[in-house]
Homo-oligomer: A and B are copies of this chain.
Amino acid sequence: MIKVSIVGASGYTGGDLLRILLLHPQVEIHQVTSERHAGKAVASVHPNLRKICKHKFVSAAELGPCDVLFLGLPHGHMMNRLAEFEALADTLIDLSADFRLRDNNAYETWYGKSHACPEKLDGFVYGIAELHREQLKNAKRISGAGCNATATILALHPLYQAGVVESAVVEVKAGSSQGGNAVSEGSHHPERSGAVRSYKPTAHRHLAEIQQELGTDRVHFSATSIEMVRGILATCHVFLNKDLEEKDIWKLYRAAYGNEPFIRIVKERSGIHRYPEPKILAGSNFCDIGFERDPHSNRLVVISALDNLMKGAAGQAVQAFNIARGFDETSGLEFPGLHP
Protein backbone atom coordinates (compact mmCIF):
# COMPACT_ATOMS: atom_id res chain seq x y z
CA MET A 1 0.00 0.00 0.00
CA ILE A 2 1.24 3.43 -0.98
CA LYS A 3 0.97 6.06 1.75
CA VAL A 4 -0.54 9.18 0.24
CA SER A 5 -1.18 12.62 1.71
CA ILE A 6 -3.09 15.47 0.10
CA VAL A 7 -2.22 19.12 0.67
CA GLY A 8 -5.13 21.50 0.15
CA ALA A 9 -7.82 18.88 0.43
CA SER A 10 -10.72 21.16 1.27
CA GLY A 11 -10.92 22.50 -2.27
CA TYR A 12 -12.94 20.89 -5.02
CA THR A 13 -9.96 19.22 -6.68
CA GLY A 14 -8.61 18.04 -3.36
CA GLY A 15 -12.01 16.63 -2.47
CA ASP A 16 -12.21 14.68 -5.68
CA LEU A 17 -8.69 13.36 -5.22
CA LEU A 18 -9.68 12.15 -1.80
CA ARG A 19 -12.89 10.56 -3.05
CA ILE A 20 -10.96 8.61 -5.67
CA LEU A 21 -8.00 7.62 -3.54
CA LEU A 22 -10.12 6.45 -0.58
CA LEU A 23 -11.37 3.65 -2.82
CA HIS A 24 -8.10 3.04 -4.65
CA PRO A 25 -6.98 -0.52 -3.90
CA GLN A 26 -3.27 0.31 -3.61
CA VAL A 27 -3.57 3.51 -1.61
CA GLU A 28 -3.79 4.32 2.05
CA ILE A 29 -4.70 7.93 2.80
CA HIS A 30 -2.30 9.20 5.41
CA GLN A 31 -3.04 12.89 6.00
CA VAL A 32 -5.12 15.59 4.37
CA THR A 33 -4.52 19.26 5.01
CA SER A 34 -6.56 22.41 5.16
CA GLU A 35 -5.42 25.48 7.03
CA ARG A 36 -8.92 26.86 7.33
CA HIS A 37 -10.57 23.64 8.42
CA ALA A 38 -7.73 22.06 10.43
CA GLY A 39 -9.23 19.97 13.22
CA LYS A 40 -12.57 19.50 11.48
CA ALA A 41 -13.90 16.31 10.00
CA VAL A 42 -13.32 16.07 6.26
CA ALA A 43 -16.97 15.13 5.83
CA SER A 44 -18.07 18.48 7.23
CA VAL A 45 -16.58 20.07 4.11
CA HIS A 46 -17.17 17.23 1.63
CA PRO A 47 -20.56 15.89 2.66
CA ASN A 48 -20.47 13.14 0.04
CA LEU A 49 -17.70 11.50 2.10
CA ARG A 50 -19.77 11.07 5.26
CA LYS A 51 -19.37 7.52 6.56
CA ILE A 52 -16.62 6.98 3.95
CA CYS A 53 -13.87 9.28 5.16
CA LYS A 54 -13.03 9.27 8.85
CA HIS A 55 -10.10 11.67 8.52
CA LYS A 56 -9.83 15.11 10.02
CA PHE A 57 -8.03 17.92 8.29
CA VAL A 58 -4.62 18.82 9.68
CA SER A 59 -2.52 21.89 9.09
CA ALA A 60 0.26 21.55 6.53
CA ALA A 61 2.65 22.16 9.44
CA GLU A 62 1.59 18.82 10.89
CA LEU A 63 2.43 16.82 7.79
CA GLY A 64 4.60 13.79 8.28
CA PRO A 65 6.54 11.78 5.69
CA CYS A 66 4.60 9.80 3.11
CA ASP A 67 5.21 8.09 -0.22
CA VAL A 68 3.31 10.37 -2.50
CA LEU A 69 2.14 13.89 -1.90
CA PHE A 70 -0.67 15.33 -4.00
CA LEU A 71 -0.81 19.12 -3.85
CA GLY A 72 -3.92 21.13 -4.54
CA LEU A 73 -2.75 24.55 -3.41
CA PRO A 74 -3.76 27.83 -5.03
CA HIS A 75 -1.54 28.88 -7.92
CA GLY A 76 1.76 30.42 -6.82
CA HIS A 77 2.12 28.63 -3.49
CA MET A 78 3.76 25.39 -4.51
CA MET A 79 6.75 26.98 -6.19
CA ASN A 80 7.57 28.87 -3.00
CA ARG A 81 7.33 25.80 -0.80
CA LEU A 82 8.83 23.15 -3.03
CA ALA A 83 11.72 22.31 -0.70
CA GLU A 84 9.34 21.83 2.20
CA PHE A 85 7.31 19.29 0.27
CA GLU A 86 10.32 17.57 -1.29
CA ALA A 87 11.47 16.81 2.24
CA LEU A 88 8.24 14.98 2.98
CA ALA A 89 7.78 12.67 0.03
CA ASP A 90 9.65 11.00 -2.72
CA THR A 91 6.98 11.79 -5.27
CA LEU A 92 5.13 15.07 -5.73
CA ILE A 93 2.07 15.47 -7.91
CA ASP A 94 1.15 19.14 -8.20
CA LEU A 95 -2.28 20.23 -9.38
CA SER A 96 -1.56 23.95 -9.41
CA ALA A 97 -0.31 25.89 -12.42
CA ASP A 98 3.20 26.37 -11.01
CA PHE A 99 5.04 23.68 -12.92
CA ARG A 100 3.10 23.34 -16.13
CA LEU A 101 5.25 25.49 -18.36
CA ARG A 102 8.76 24.46 -19.26
CA ASP A 103 9.76 27.94 -20.38
CA ASN A 104 10.44 30.46 -17.64
CA ASN A 105 9.78 33.35 -20.01
CA ALA A 106 6.39 32.01 -20.88
CA TYR A 107 5.65 31.77 -17.17
CA GLU A 108 6.52 35.42 -16.67
CA THR A 109 4.51 36.51 -19.69
CA TRP A 110 1.32 34.69 -18.71
CA TYR A 111 1.47 34.81 -14.93
CA GLY A 112 2.86 38.31 -14.64
CA LYS A 113 5.64 37.53 -12.20
CA SER A 114 8.92 35.67 -11.95
CA HIS A 115 8.89 31.98 -11.18
CA ALA A 116 10.30 31.17 -7.73
CA CYS A 117 12.40 28.23 -8.92
CA PRO A 118 12.67 28.26 -12.70
CA GLU A 119 15.46 25.71 -12.60
CA LYS A 120 12.93 23.14 -11.40
CA LEU A 121 10.50 23.60 -14.28
CA ASP A 122 12.19 20.99 -16.42
CA GLY A 123 11.97 18.39 -13.69
CA PHE A 124 8.21 18.10 -13.87
CA VAL A 125 6.39 15.93 -16.36
CA TYR A 126 3.29 17.56 -17.84
CA GLY A 127 0.65 15.15 -16.67
CA ILE A 128 -1.40 14.34 -19.75
CA ALA A 129 -0.90 10.59 -20.07
CA GLU A 130 -1.93 10.47 -23.71
CA LEU A 131 1.02 12.69 -24.64
CA HIS A 132 3.61 11.83 -22.03
CA ARG A 133 2.97 8.26 -20.91
CA GLU A 134 6.56 7.15 -21.26
CA GLN A 135 7.92 10.08 -19.26
CA LEU A 136 5.35 9.47 -16.55
CA LYS A 137 6.63 5.98 -15.84
CA ASN A 138 8.58 6.21 -12.59
CA ALA A 139 8.29 10.00 -12.61
CA LYS A 140 8.87 11.69 -9.26
CA ARG A 141 7.62 15.15 -10.22
CA ILE A 142 4.36 15.47 -12.06
CA SER A 143 2.37 18.58 -12.86
CA GLY A 144 -1.32 18.28 -13.64
CA ALA A 145 -2.49 20.11 -16.75
CA GLY A 146 -5.06 22.89 -16.73
CA CYS A 147 -8.60 21.68 -17.26
CA ASN A 148 -9.33 23.82 -20.31
CA ALA A 149 -5.87 23.04 -21.62
CA THR A 150 -6.50 19.31 -21.29
CA ALA A 151 -9.76 19.49 -23.22
CA THR A 152 -8.12 21.56 -25.94
CA ILE A 153 -4.87 19.65 -26.22
CA LEU A 154 -6.54 16.25 -26.35
CA ALA A 155 -8.91 17.55 -29.02
CA LEU A 156 -6.23 19.01 -31.25
CA HIS A 157 -3.00 17.12 -30.67
CA PRO A 158 -3.53 14.45 -33.35
CA LEU A 159 -4.19 17.16 -35.93
CA TYR A 160 -1.16 19.25 -35.04
CA GLN A 161 0.97 16.10 -34.94
CA ALA A 162 -0.18 15.31 -38.45
CA GLY A 163 0.68 18.82 -39.58
CA VAL A 164 -2.72 19.49 -41.10
CA VAL A 165 -3.70 22.62 -39.18
CA GLU A 166 -3.53 26.13 -40.57
CA SER A 167 -4.97 27.76 -37.42
CA ALA A 168 -7.58 27.09 -34.77
CA VAL A 169 -10.06 28.97 -32.62
CA VAL A 170 -11.07 27.21 -29.41
CA GLU A 171 -14.08 28.14 -27.39
CA VAL A 172 -14.64 26.51 -24.07
CA LYS A 173 -17.96 26.35 -22.23
CA ALA A 174 -17.16 26.04 -18.53
CA GLY A 175 -18.95 25.21 -15.29
CA SER A 176 -18.75 27.09 -12.03
CA SER A 177 -16.60 24.58 -10.16
CA GLN A 178 -13.71 25.71 -12.33
CA GLY A 179 -13.59 28.85 -10.19
CA GLY A 180 -12.92 26.88 -7.02
CA ASN A 181 -14.64 27.09 -3.68
CA ALA A 182 -13.97 30.73 -2.80
CA VAL A 183 -17.17 32.78 -2.76
CA SER A 184 -17.42 35.96 -4.84
CA GLU A 185 -20.06 38.27 -6.22
CA GLY A 186 -19.78 36.54 -9.55
CA SER A 187 -20.45 33.15 -8.00
CA HIS A 188 -23.44 34.31 -5.93
CA HIS A 189 -26.24 32.03 -7.05
CA PRO A 190 -28.80 34.66 -8.06
CA GLU A 191 -26.16 36.24 -10.30
CA ARG A 192 -24.45 33.09 -11.56
CA SER A 193 -27.45 30.82 -12.04
CA GLY A 194 -28.57 30.87 -15.64
CA ALA A 195 -25.68 33.10 -16.64
CA VAL A 196 -23.88 32.77 -19.95
CA ARG A 197 -20.92 34.95 -19.27
CA SER A 198 -17.75 35.69 -21.23
CA TYR A 199 -15.28 35.37 -18.42
CA LYS A 200 -12.11 35.26 -20.43
CA PRO A 201 -12.63 36.22 -24.07
CA THR A 202 -8.89 36.66 -24.58
CA ALA A 203 -5.58 36.08 -22.79
CA HIS A 204 -6.58 33.00 -20.78
CA ARG A 205 -3.52 31.55 -19.04
CA HIS A 206 -4.25 28.03 -20.17
CA LEU A 207 -3.38 29.19 -23.67
CA ALA A 208 0.28 29.10 -22.65
CA GLU A 209 0.05 25.37 -21.95
CA ILE A 210 -1.93 24.75 -25.07
CA GLN A 211 0.63 26.47 -27.26
CA GLN A 212 3.46 24.66 -25.50
CA GLU A 213 1.97 21.21 -25.97
CA LEU A 214 0.67 21.76 -29.50
CA GLY A 215 3.89 23.50 -30.53
CA THR A 216 2.17 26.42 -32.20
CA ASP A 217 0.97 29.92 -31.53
CA ARG A 218 -1.65 29.79 -34.26
CA VAL A 219 -4.32 28.77 -31.82
CA HIS A 220 -6.82 31.18 -30.22
CA PHE A 221 -8.81 30.66 -27.05
CA SER A 222 -11.91 32.04 -25.33
CA ALA A 223 -13.89 30.77 -22.37
CA THR A 224 -17.53 31.30 -21.50
CA SER A 225 -19.15 30.39 -18.18
CA ILE A 226 -22.48 28.63 -18.52
CA GLU A 227 -25.07 27.08 -16.22
CA MET A 228 -23.19 24.00 -15.14
CA VAL A 229 -21.19 22.98 -12.09
CA ARG A 230 -18.85 20.33 -13.42
CA GLY A 231 -17.78 20.05 -17.01
CA ILE A 232 -16.12 21.53 -20.03
CA LEU A 233 -17.14 21.47 -23.65
CA ALA A 234 -14.43 22.69 -25.98
CA THR A 235 -15.53 23.58 -29.50
CA CYS A 236 -12.45 23.84 -31.68
CA HIS A 237 -12.78 25.48 -35.08
CA VAL A 238 -9.82 24.10 -37.00
CA PHE A 239 -8.84 25.51 -40.36
CA LEU A 240 -7.13 22.77 -42.31
CA ASN A 241 -4.22 23.32 -44.62
CA LYS A 242 -5.24 20.41 -46.82
CA ASP A 243 -8.49 18.90 -47.96
CA LEU A 244 -9.23 16.06 -45.58
CA GLU A 245 -12.41 14.05 -45.59
CA GLU A 246 -14.09 12.74 -42.48
CA LYS A 247 -12.62 9.28 -43.00
CA ASP A 248 -9.13 10.81 -43.01
CA ILE A 249 -9.88 12.53 -39.74
CA TRP A 250 -11.18 9.29 -38.29
CA LYS A 251 -7.89 7.65 -39.16
CA LEU A 252 -5.86 10.30 -37.39
CA TYR A 253 -7.88 10.03 -34.21
CA ARG A 254 -7.97 6.25 -34.23
CA ALA A 255 -4.24 6.10 -34.65
CA ALA A 256 -3.71 8.52 -31.80
CA TYR A 257 -6.29 7.28 -29.34
CA GLY A 258 -7.44 3.82 -30.41
CA ASN A 259 -5.83 2.19 -27.38
CA GLU A 260 -6.39 4.93 -24.86
CA PRO A 261 -8.44 3.80 -21.87
CA PHE A 262 -9.95 7.22 -21.20
CA ILE A 263 -10.55 8.65 -24.65
CA ARG A 264 -13.62 7.85 -26.69
CA ILE A 265 -14.32 9.07 -30.21
CA VAL A 266 -17.97 10.10 -30.14
CA LYS A 267 -19.55 10.74 -33.50
CA GLU A 268 -22.88 9.18 -34.26
CA ARG A 269 -25.17 9.57 -37.23
CA SER A 270 -28.40 9.59 -35.29
CA GLY A 271 -29.79 9.84 -31.79
CA ILE A 272 -29.53 12.74 -29.40
CA HIS A 273 -26.01 12.09 -28.14
CA ARG A 274 -24.19 12.43 -31.46
CA TYR A 275 -21.28 14.44 -30.08
CA PRO A 276 -19.40 14.64 -26.80
CA GLU A 277 -21.32 16.09 -23.88
CA PRO A 278 -19.89 16.84 -20.43
CA LYS A 279 -23.10 15.98 -18.60
CA ILE A 280 -22.63 12.21 -18.78
CA LEU A 281 -18.98 12.57 -17.76
CA ALA A 282 -19.48 14.04 -14.29
CA GLY A 283 -17.35 11.96 -11.96
CA SER A 284 -15.74 9.98 -14.77
CA ASN A 285 -12.24 10.26 -16.17
CA PHE A 286 -13.18 10.12 -19.83
CA CYS A 287 -12.41 12.73 -22.41
CA ASP A 288 -14.86 12.29 -25.29
CA ILE A 289 -13.88 13.70 -28.66
CA GLY A 290 -15.93 14.14 -31.84
CA PHE A 291 -15.76 16.17 -35.03
CA GLU A 292 -17.64 17.40 -38.09
CA ARG A 293 -16.29 18.68 -41.38
CA ASP A 294 -17.80 21.90 -42.65
CA PRO A 295 -19.01 21.20 -46.19
CA HIS A 296 -18.76 24.90 -47.09
CA SER A 297 -15.17 25.69 -46.13
CA ASN A 298 -11.83 24.28 -44.97
CA ARG A 299 -13.11 24.25 -41.39
CA LEU A 300 -13.18 21.15 -39.21
CA VAL A 301 -15.08 21.43 -35.95
CA VAL A 302 -13.60 19.26 -33.20
CA ILE A 303 -15.58 18.92 -29.99
CA SER A 304 -14.22 17.58 -26.73
CA ALA A 305 -15.83 17.11 -23.34
CA LEU A 306 -14.57 16.20 -19.90
CA ASP A 307 -15.20 16.73 -16.20
CA ASN A 308 -12.89 19.59 -15.21
CA LEU A 309 -12.37 18.12 -11.73
CA MET A 310 -11.66 14.63 -13.05
CA LYS A 311 -9.91 14.28 -16.40
CA GLY A 312 -9.21 18.00 -16.04
CA ALA A 313 -7.64 17.69 -12.57
CA ALA A 314 -7.98 14.95 -9.94
CA GLY A 315 -8.73 12.03 -12.23
CA GLN A 316 -5.91 12.97 -14.56
CA ALA A 317 -3.55 13.19 -11.60
CA VAL A 318 -4.52 9.73 -10.38
CA GLN A 319 -4.11 8.37 -13.90
CA ALA A 320 -0.58 9.82 -13.96
CA PHE A 321 0.06 8.44 -10.47
CA ASN A 322 -1.05 4.97 -11.59
CA ILE A 323 1.35 5.11 -14.51
CA ALA A 324 4.19 6.45 -12.39
CA ARG A 325 3.76 3.65 -9.86
CA GLY A 326 3.10 0.90 -12.37
CA PHE A 327 -0.48 0.25 -11.31
CA ASP A 328 -3.33 -0.47 -13.65
CA GLU A 329 -3.88 2.90 -15.32
CA THR A 330 -7.60 2.82 -14.56
CA SER A 331 -7.37 1.93 -10.85
CA GLY A 332 -9.77 4.04 -8.85
CA LEU A 333 -11.10 5.62 -12.04
CA GLU A 334 -13.73 3.08 -13.04
CA PHE A 335 -16.86 5.16 -12.41
CA PRO A 336 -18.51 5.52 -15.81
CA GLY A 337 -20.69 8.57 -15.20
CA LEU A 338 -24.46 8.73 -15.02
CA HIS A 339 -27.29 8.76 -17.52
CA PRO A 340 -29.48 10.70 -17.23
Q: Are B339 and A48 in contact (CB under 8 A)?
A: yes
Q: Which of A1-42 contact B (CB under 8 A)?
A: 12, 15-16, 19, 22-23
Q: Which of A178-209 contact B (CB under 8 A)?
A: 179, 181, 183-198, 201-203, 207
Q: Which residues of B contact A283 (CB under 8 A)?
A: 283, 335, 338
**Alpha-carbon gap, A301 to B45, bound state (A):** 24
Give which listed residue, B48, B183, B198, B273, contacts A47 with CB less than 8 A: B273
Q: Are A177 and B235 in contact (CB under 8 A)?
A: no
Q: Which of A303-340 contact B (CB under 8 A)?
A: 303, 305, 334-340
| Cβ-based interface call for A171 (8 A) | yes
Q: Closest CB of chain B to A238's CB: distance in Å?
A: 10
Q: Which residues of B contact A47 (CB under 8 A)?
A: 266, 273, 277, 280, 339
**Alpha-carbon gap, A92 to B114, bound state (A):** 58
Q: Closest CB of chain B to A280's CB: distance in Å?
A: 4
| Cβ-based interface call for A100 (8 A) | no
Q: Which residues of B contact A274 (CB under 8 A)?
A: 198
Q: Are A268 and B230 in contact (CB under 8 A)?
A: no
Contact flags (1/0) for A236-261 with B, using CB distance below 8 Å? Answer: 01000000000000000000000000
Q: Which of A75-83, A121-129, A219-227 faces chain B?
A: A219-227
For the A-B complex with A198-B292, A202-B299 known, give 10 more contacts whose Cβ atoms are closer than 8 Å. Answer: A44-B268, A44-B271, A47-B273, A50-B264, A50-B266, A177-B190, A190-B340, A194-B279, A226-B226, A282-B338
